[in-house]
A and B are shown apart, each in its own frame.
Chain A
Amino acid sequence: MSRARVLNGRAGRRLVTAIPFVWLSVFFLAPFLIVFAISLSQSRYGVPPYEPLVQDGEILARLDNYVFLLADALYVTALINSLLIAATSAFICLLIGYPVALAIARAPQRWRAPLLLAVILPFWTSFLIRVYAWIGLLKSDGIINNALQAIGLTDAPIQLLQTSFAVHLGIVYSYLPFMILPLFAALERQDSGLLEAASDLGARPWRAFLSITLPLSMPGVIAGFLLVFIPAVGEFVIPELLGNSRTAMIGKVLWTEFFSNRDWPLASALAVTMLLLIVAPLAWLEHLRQRRGETRP
C-alpha cells in the first residue's frame, strides 16, 4: 500500500471516530461539566439561581452540597432506594425477558420479525399514557380490583396503587423490551450446532443450557441488565404516578430540588453523585473485561 493511502486511511479513521467524539463532547461532556460546576456553587435568589463560581478573581468552589447530601438521610435513602428498585426490576426483567428472547430466537425464521415487532409495539404509544393506563388497572376501583371482587376472591379492594409493587411492576413493564432485544441478539447469533455437540457429548437439555447457551449469552445479559438498570435508577415518572413516599427515588428528589425548591447546586450535586454511582461499577466492569482480554496468549 502506498504511503498516501496509508495516510488517507488514517485520516479517514480519525474523521469517523471524530463524529461521535464531538457529539459526546458537545452534548454529554460539556453539559456534565456545567452541572458539575453548578454543584460546587451555592444557591441564591435570582437568575441564574446560583452564585458564580469565580468572583473578584477568587474561586468559590465548595463541596458543601455533597456534604449536605451525605448528611441528610432523605437523599441517601432515595439513592439506595433507587439503586435497589432499579436492580430488582432489572433482575425481574431478566427472569421474564430471557425465556421470551430465547423463544423468539428459537422460533422459525418467518416468525421472528413479527414476534420482535410485538415486543417493541408498546413504544408506538406514549410512555406516559401507558403508565397512566396502569393507574386505571391498579386503583381501588380499577379493573383488577373490580374483577377480583366480582369473582369473590376479595371483599374489599386491595391496595395495589401507590405501593412498591406498583413501582416495580411499572418499571418492569416499561423497560422489558430493552432487556429482550439485546438478549435476542445474543441468543440468535448462537450456533445451534453447539447445542447438538453438547447433546452428543452427553449433556441433557438443561445441562446444555446452563453450560453453553447461558454463558455464551452473558454479553446480552449484561447489556440488557444495564439498559434497564441505568434509566431505571433515574426514573421519575413511574414512582411519581404509581409509588408512594416510601418509594421515593432519586429522580423524584432531583425534580423536587430543581423545580420546587429551585436549589440548582444541590440538585446538581445529586445528579453528579447518581452518575458516579452508576458509572463507577461500569468502568470497573469494563476494566475487568479489558484485563481479561489482555491476558490472552
Chain B
Amino acid sequence: MTASNPGHAEQASVSGDILDLQGVTRRFGDVTAVDSVDLTVRRGELFSLLGGSGCGKSTLLRMIAGLATPDSGRLFIDGQDMTNVPPYERPVNMVFQSYALFPHMTVTQNVAYGLRQEGMARGEREDRVHEVLRLVDMQDLAGRKPDQLSGGQRQRVALARGLAKRPRILLLDEPLGALDRKLRERTQFELVNLQEQIGTTFILVTHDQEEAMTMSDRIAIMRAGRIQQIGTPRQVYEYPNSRYVADFVGTANLLTGEVVANTDGIARIRIADTGTLVHVSAAAPVAPGDQVTAMVRPEKLRATADLNAVSGEANLLSGVVEDIAYLGDMSIYHVQVSGGPRIQVAQANRRHTGEAPVTWGDTIHLTWHPDDGVVLTA
C-alpha cells in the first residue's frame, strides 16, 4: 500500500479502499450539487454512480478527477489526501462523455499524450501505446485522426487514452451515451471484460439503470446531491431502501398503508386506498401504526383469471386489465385495482400456460409470496 504519505494515510478510514470521500460538498450558487457525500470504493471494483440529470453524479466524478474542487470535505485516493491536488498531478484518468479527443492528433498521438506529459522515454512510450491500442482493438487505425473514426472507434480511443498511464482509478462519464443501442450493449460487456482483465478500478457515471445493473459490482444511487443507497445490483433491485430507489431502479408497484403487525420479519400492512391486507418482508424495523410503503416488482406477481386457483394465498389483489404491452418475450399488464392502485404485472409469454389468455377488460387476480415484497419506510 501507499507508505509515501503516512500522515495522510492515517486519516483515510480503510486502507484497502482506493477511494475515500469524507463529507464532500460542492455548491454552484444556491444549488448544492453534491451534499456531504461519504463514499468508499474498493480496489479493483467496477463502481457506478447512478442518477437522473442534475443529481450531482457528474460533479462528484469531476471532483475525483480534480476538475472541480470540493467546497468542504476531504478526498483520498489510495490513502493520500488529494482534496486540493490539481488534476494533472492525480493518479486518475477520465474518459469524457464527449470523448474530448484532440482533433489535431492521430490516434497514436492522442493515446501517447499523457505518457509524454510524464516524460516517458520514446521506446517505452511506443510499447505502451501499442499495448493499450491492442487492448481496445484499435491498433489498425493508429494513424487516423479522430474525425476519421466512427463513434464506437472514438470511444475505444478515449478508453485507450485513459488507460495508457495505468491510472489507479479510471473515471468514465457516460462512456456509452453516444453509442446506438446495439453497440452500447456489446460495449457494456467489452468494458466489463476489459476491467476484469486489467484489474483497474473503474468508476462509471450513468443515468441508465440497465447499464449500471449490467456492468457494476456496486452501484451508488444519487438524488439531489446525496447518495440514496449503495449496494450490489441485486441488493438495490431486490431490497431498495426507499421509494425513490425502488422506482428509479426498475419498475416498482408501490402500495402505501399502515403497519398492522410485524411478526417473524413479515409485516402485515393495510393498504390505504382499499383497506386490503398485504404481507411483505420487513428488512427495516417497523411497528404497528407506522405509515409505510409495500413494494412488489412486476415480475414477482402471479396473475390468473381463475379465482379458485388463488384461494388461500397470503396476498391477493383483484383488478381489471386496462393496458397490455406485448414485448414478445413477456407482456406487461396494467391492472386497475378497484378504488385502489394501478399495478404493473410482467408475465413471461410461455407457449402454453393452461390458462385463458388475458385481454382488455378482464378481471384478474394477482398474488405474490410475502418474501417477494419489501417494506419501505422512506
Q: List residues of A whose CB falls within 8 A of some B CB.
A: 191, 193-194, 196-204, 207, 211-212, 215-216, 296-297
Contacts and interface: CB of A to CB of B under 8 A. Distances in A.
Interface of B: 65-67, 86-89, 92-94, 96, 98, 100-104, 113-114, 117-118, 143-145, 148, 161, 165
A215 B145 CA distance: 15
A203 B117 contact: yes
B98 A191 contact: yes
Nearest to A197: B100
Contact of A200 (B67, B98, B145): B67
14 contacts: A193-B98, A194-B103, A196-B100, A197-B100, A198-B113, A199-B86, A200-B94, A201-B114, A201-B161, A201-B165, A202-B118, A204-B88, A207-B117, A297-B143
Contacts of B94: 197, 200
B67 A196 contact: yes
A34 B103 CA distance: 45
A297 B143 CA distance: 9
A199 B117 CA distance: 10
A296 B149 CA distance: 13
A212 B100 CA distance: 11
Contacts of A215: 104
A297 B117 contact: no
Nearest to A211: B113
Given A202-B117, A202-B165, A197 B102 contact: yes
A202 B92 CA distance: 10
Given A200-B65, A203-B117, A296-B148, A194 B87 contact: no
B234 to A, nearest CB: 33
A204 B114 CA distance: 11
A216 B104 contact: yes
B253 to A, nearest CB: 42
Contacts of A197: 94, 96, 100-102
A61 B86 CA distance: 71
B159 to A, nearest CB: 13
A296 B114 CA distance: 25
A214 to B, nearest CB: 10
Given A202-B114, A216-B104, 19 more contacts: A191-B98, A194-B103, A197-B100, A198-B113, A199-B86, A199-B87, A199-B88, A200-B65, A200-B66, A200-B87, A201-B117, A201-B161, A202-B117, A202-B118, A203-B113, A204-B88, A296-B145, A296-B148, A297-B144
A212 B103 CA distance: 9
Contacts of A202: 88-89, 114, 117-118, 165
Nearest to B114: A201
B82 to A, nearest CB: 13
A216 B103 contact: yes
A212 B102 contact: yes
Nearest to A204: B88
Nearest to B98: A193
A62 to B, nearest CB: 50
A207 B113 CA distance: 11
Contacts of B104: 215-216
Contacts of A191: 98, 100
Given A196-B96, A297-B143, A203 B88 contact: yes
Contacts of A211: 113
